[in-house]
Amino acid sequence: MSRLAKAGIVTLVTVSVSATSAQAFAASPAEGSSARGPVTGAAVQPLSAAEVADLERRYPEKAKRLRQTVSTGAEAVAVKIVNVNSGKCLAIGSSSTAQGAHAIQWDCIASSPGQVWVLDGYHILNYNSGLYLAIGSSSTENGAHALQWSYTGSNGQRWYADGDRHLINMNSDKYLAIGSSSTENGAHALQWSYTGSNGQRWNY
C-alpha cells in the first residue's frame, strides 16, 4: 500500500462504496442528511493495493505531485466516484489538466487517471491533474458547474459527505449532481438544491 506524505505520513488506498457506509453517519432527515463529515471518512471497502501500485507505476509524476499536495497527517483515499443514477464515473472532460476544465460523467474506464479522485479530508483532488474539485467562482446558484482548480482555501473547494451518498458543497450547501439526471456520456456535473433523486447520489 502506497504512502503519500507532505510532512506526515498519508495512506493512499483505492476503495469502493457499499451500503454499510451509511452506518458511519446518522440517519438522513427529509432533506438530505444533517450528519455530515469529511469525504475521506465516507469511503469504505478498500480494493486491492495493487491497483494503487499500478497507478503509481504508470503515472509516477502524478503520484509524486499528490504526495506534495495532500494534507499533512490526513488519510488520503483514492476512489472512483460513480453516479448512482447513470452508473457512470465522475471525470474531467478529455482528462484535461487545465484550470477550469469541467467535471463530467463518462463510462468508467479502469485505466483512466482522469476518473480517479483523491479524497483528502474535505477536499477532492483529481489524480490526473492534481487540481481540486470546486464550484466555479464559488457560486451559490443552482446549476453552477463543477470544475477543477488549483488550491485557493475557499469553501467552494470543500465538500461534505453524508450517510446517503451525497457530496455537498460547503460554500453553497448544494448537492453535486448530474444535470437533468442525464445518463449520457459528457453530461456535466453541477450543484443543485436537494431533490432526493439518484442523480445527486454517488458511490465511492
pLDDT of the residue at 17: 36
What residues does 37 pair with on adjacent strands?
161
Q: What are the DSSP calls for 119-180, one per residue?
A: EETTEEEETTT-PEEEEGGG--STTPBEEEE-----GGG-EEE-TTS-EEETTT--EEEEGG
pLDDT attached to residue 40: 83
* CB-CB contact of 100 with 148 (8 Å): yes
Q: Using CA atoms, how far apart are residues 170 and 123, in angstroms rounded to an integer? A: 10
For residues 184 and 186, give the distance between their C-alpha atoms in angstroms, rounded to a whole number: 6
In the 8-state DSSP scheme, what is residue 89? E
Backbone conformation region of residue 163, classed left if phi is above 0, alpha if psi is from -120 to 50, else beta: alpha
Q: How far apart are CA 108 and CA 68, in angstroms?
A: 27
Tell me if residue 38 falls in helix, strand or coil: strand
Nearest to 60 by CA among 6, 9, 131, 4: 4
The domain containing residue 197 runs over which residues?
A: 2-203
Q: Domain tally for the chain?
A: 1
- pLDDT of amino acid 44: 59
Q: For the domain that residue 124 is a member of, what is the CATH number?
A: 2.80.10.50
Q: What is the pLDDT along the chain (204 residues), one digit of tens a residue?
A: 333 333 232 345 443 333 333 333 333 344 655 589 999 877 755 456 888 899 999 999 999 998 888 875 557 788 999 999 999 999 999 999 999 999 999 999 988 899 999 999 999 999 999 999 999 999 999 999 999 999 999 999 999 999 899 999 999 999 999 999 999 999 999 999 999 999 999 998
Give the per-residue pLDDT at 3.
Answer: 32
In sequence order, the 6+-apart residues with CB closer than 8 A to the CB of 196 are none
Quote the CA–CA distance of 114 and 141 in Å, as a whole number: 26
Cross-strand bridge partners of residue 14: 78
Give CA–CA dist 201/182, Å, rounded: 13
* CA within 13 Å, CB half, 65: 16
Closest CA to 187 of 118, 88, 112: 88
